[in-house]
Structure 1
């Protein structure tokens, strides 16, 4: 348990940040799920639209430190490749 005032404050800050990060991560997962559902249904227009919405959300999560930059880029790249494959 934190003893000093600064340690107690740090604990509060960490708890707040964790909550924000959880929300961001959850939001990103939701956007990714929408893209994957559109891909599974075979609707290329819906998949492309969902990808356009998911990409900035993933990159925002990367800039905020929720996910690593390379992880976000890899996810966008793989989703884009799968969306492109259904249109071919």
Structure 2
């Protein structure tokens, strides 16, 4: 349990950061789900638009430290190849 004032403050900050990171991760997942749904529907133009919208959101997660860079790159690469294969 936090005893010193500094550790109490750190505990409060950790709770706030957790909420922010959780919201950001959820937002990223929503964008990725939209791409998945567009791929499943078979509409390549909609899938490309969804991918174009998801890309900056995923990379923003990288800069904020929510997602690892290689993980984001891997996800984007796999989605892009699946979108390309629709044609």
TM-score of Structure 1 vs Structure 2, range by shorter chain: over 0.9
Aligned to 2:3: 3
What TM-score comes out, normalization by structure 2 length?
A: 0.99
Q: CA RMSD in A?
A: 0.4
> Unmatched 5+ residue regions in structure 2?
none
2:72 matches 1:67 = no
> Unmatched 5+ residue regions in structure 1?
none
What secondary structure does 2:76 align onto?
Answer: helix
What TM-score comes out, normalization by structure 1 length?
A: 0.97
Between the aligned partners of 1:81 and 1:58, the Cα distance in structure 2 is 17
Aligned to 1:13: 13
**Displacement after TM superposition at 1:37 (Å):** 0.2
